[in-house]
Amino acid sequence: MNRVPILFLAIFAAVTLSFWGVVVMPQLEVGNAGVLTTMDTGVTYPLARNGHAAQGAEVYRANGCAECHTQQVRPKGMGTDYERGWGKRRTIAEDYLLEDSVQIGGLRLGPDLSNVGQRQPGVTLHLQHLYNPRVTVPQSTMPRYTYLFNKRPLAKGEKPSPNALPANTEPGYEITPKPEASALAAYLVSLNAQSAVFSAPFPIIKTNVTAKAAVVSPVK
């Protein structure tokens, strides 16, 4: 290996080969996935998010929420994602089809959020949790996102505005969400990857039918 052009060509060939295997082949297999039809209602899946929730996805990305939260439910038998109630089925390639920037995450310092919209559909609860996670979950280790809210002390007897967070969030203050906070909450509520699709049927977690009983004995 004493000639630079030959060495260079060898490196180029080796990296191109792995590029073909790691990027091109998967692109041909899962990259061309299209929308599906759900098995129960027959509607198209996935549907695009509404504009407000799509803006929230940008807030989610900008603040690096994926540094602590994942958005992936593993297949049954891998981990205990089902048992924790994080999803009824594993996540599939089509779940991420319409995302601008897929925020799948790799560390779970916080719970998985693939289906958080289904688990906690209330926008107010999400807003309260973003303002001060210890209000909704006393032991939470999540940071506060106070910069997504406006805070104003209330005069004696003054009532907070209608879009303010509930009084127990921080007594004596009017806490109103900035547009970013509302968008983020709308995004979190929109997270719901549980549609019944053919390629990822709901696994049976518990059953009373034993393997032995399920075997049909041959007719004599």
Partner 1 sequence: MGSTIQNICEGNPVPHEAVDRSCRWPVLFLLLKAVGWLVISLGIGLISSIKMHSPGFWSNCEWVTFGRLRPAFFTALIYGFAIQASLGVSLWMLARLGKTKLVAGASAVIGCGLLNFGVAIGVLQIMAGQSTGFTWMEMPRQAAALVGGGFFLVAVSAFATLRHREMKPLYISHWFLLTALFCFLWFLVQGYVMGVAFPVRGIMQVVLNAWYTTGLQYLVLMPFALAIAYFLLPKLIGKPVYSTQAAGFGFWILILFAGWSALSRVPQGPVPRWMLAVGSSCKFMLIMVAVCFAVNWFMTLRQAKKASSAEPAWSFLASAVWAFLAGTVLEVFGATDALLSRVAFTTYSLGVTHLILIGFVAMAIFAGIYYVVERVLEDEWKSRGLIQAHLVLTLLGVLLTAGAYLFGGLTVGPKLNLQSGAFLDVARSFTPFLGTATLGYLLLFAGQLCLVWNLGSTLMAATSDERAEFCSWCCGESASAKKARASA
Least CB distance to partner 1 at residue 215 (A) = 28
Minimum CB distance to partner 1 smaller for 2 or for 208: 2
Determine phi and psi for 210, rounding to 5 degrees: -80, 160
- 47 sits near partner 1 (criterion: CB under 8 A): no
Q: Does 18 bind partner 1 (CB under 8 A)?
A: yes
**Residue 81, phi-psi category: left (phi > 0), alpha (psi -120 to 50), beta (remainder):** alpha
The residue count for the chain:
220
Q: Is 65 in the site for partner 1 (CB under 8 A)?
A: yes
185's tokens: 């909450």
Q: Is 72 in the site for partner 1 (CB under 8 A)?
A: yes
Q: Does 176 bind partner 1 (CB under 8 A)?
A: no
Binding characters for partner 1, 109-128, by CB under 8 A (x = yes): xxx-----------------
Least distance (Å) between residue 123 CB and partner 1: 21
Task: Say whether 176 sits in a helix, a strand or coil.
Answer: strand
Please identify, among the stretches 55-63, 158-166, 181-189, 208-216, the one whose residues bind partner 1 according to the rule CB under 8 A: 55-63
Q: Which H or E run includes 37?
A: strand 36-37
Q: For tokens 């049927």, name the residue.
A: 201
In the block, which residue shows the tokens 């807003």?
Answer: 127
Kindly state whether residue 66 participates in binding partner 1, applying the rule CB under 8 A: yes
Among 74, 123, 160, 194, binds partner 1 (CB under 8 A): 74
Q: Give the tokens for residue 35.
A: 């929308």
> CA-to-CA distance for 79 and 104, rounded, in angstroms?
17
Q: Which of 39, 47, 48, 137 is in the footprint of partner 1 by CB under 8 A?
A: 137
Site for partner 1 in 77-96 (CB under 8 A): 78-80, 83-84, 90-96
CB 189 within 8 A of CB 155: no
Size of the site for partner 1 (CB under 8 A): 74
